[in-house]
């Protein structure tokens, strides 16, 4: 049995993941993301069900050091401290050509995947591991999609049209057939759509 790569993202109705560079570089995130306590608890439950996470450098640096530091921050609500513990303790692969493994990264259960064969390394990981592995980052997800290694999209769609910004996938990208496997509605009009990747055409 092999693992599955699941691309998990918050998106706008026009499938943008950010309107401006650095949109997500604070606790509350960009103002177009409607992320209240009930939805964040849903994020926590779904994150806890993952076996590991693989993240590009931009996504990883958005998460660290904030979430490791948040674990013991009593001023934060319990659902944020809970997510902080989940993220920090979860096995993580940071895909980067520029970062090197430091004791701090290792203490956050992170290892580095780099070099020109990073996608080949991830293919081997997918073959040898089990469970669902969350994928964070458009560049990384696009590379996995092109290589036929992306198994699922898990998209939390927020009721806004941004009009411009960073897309869910980079260009050029192949045509891909999908199957809807789950649909949920949450507070403030946020919807979840999970799609199994049937295959690249």
Tell me the per-residue pLDDT of 164-189, one tens digit each, with 9 for 90 and over: 999 999 988 889 999 999 999 999 99
Structure tokens at 151: 């198994």
Are 163 and 14 spatial neighbours (Cβ–Cβ below 8 Å)?
A: yes
pLDDT value at 193 more than 80:
yes
User: Percentage of residues in the chain with pLDDT exceeding 70?
Assistant: 96
Distances (CA, A) of 195 to 27, 100, 106, 145, 180: 28, 34, 33, 13, 4
Of the candidate ranges 73-82, 134-143, 169-178, the one whose mean pLDDT is the lowest: 169-178
Task: Assign 96 a pLDDT band (cuts: 50, 70, 90).
Answer: very high
pTM value > 0.85: yes
pLDDT value at 21 more than 90:
no
Structural domains of the chain in order of their starting residue, each with its CATH number: 4-60+91-200 (3.40.430.10)
pLDDT value at 27 more than 90:
no
Q: Please name the residue ranges forming H helices in 21-171.
A: 37-48, 57-63, 66-70, 78-89, 103-107, 118-128, 138-146
């Amino acid at each position: 049995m092999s693992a599955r790569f699941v691309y998990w993202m918050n998106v706008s109705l026009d499938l943008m993941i950010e309107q401006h560079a650095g949109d997500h570089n604070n606790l509350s995130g960009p103002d177009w993301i409607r992320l209240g306590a009930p939805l964040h608890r849903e994020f926590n439950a779904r994150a806890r069900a993952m076996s590991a996470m693989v993240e590009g450098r931009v996504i990883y640096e958005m998460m660290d050091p904030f979430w490791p530091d948040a674990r013991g921050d009593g001023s934060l609500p319990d659902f944020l401290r809970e997510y902080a513990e989940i993220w920090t303790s979860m096995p993580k692969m940071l895909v980067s050509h520029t970062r090197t493994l430091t004791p701090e990264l290792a203490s956050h259960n992170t290892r580095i995947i780099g070099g020109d064969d990073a996608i080949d390394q991830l293919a081997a990981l997918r073959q040898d591991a089990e469970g669902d592995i969350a994928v964070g980052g458009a560049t990384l997800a696009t590379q996995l999609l092109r290589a036929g290694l992306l198994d699922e999209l898990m998209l939390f769609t927020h009721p806004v049209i941004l009009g411009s910004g960073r897309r869910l996938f980079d260009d050029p990208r192949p045509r891909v057939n999908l199957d809807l496997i789950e649909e949920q509605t949450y507070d403030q009009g946020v919807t979840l759509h999970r799609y199994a990747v049937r295959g690249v055409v």
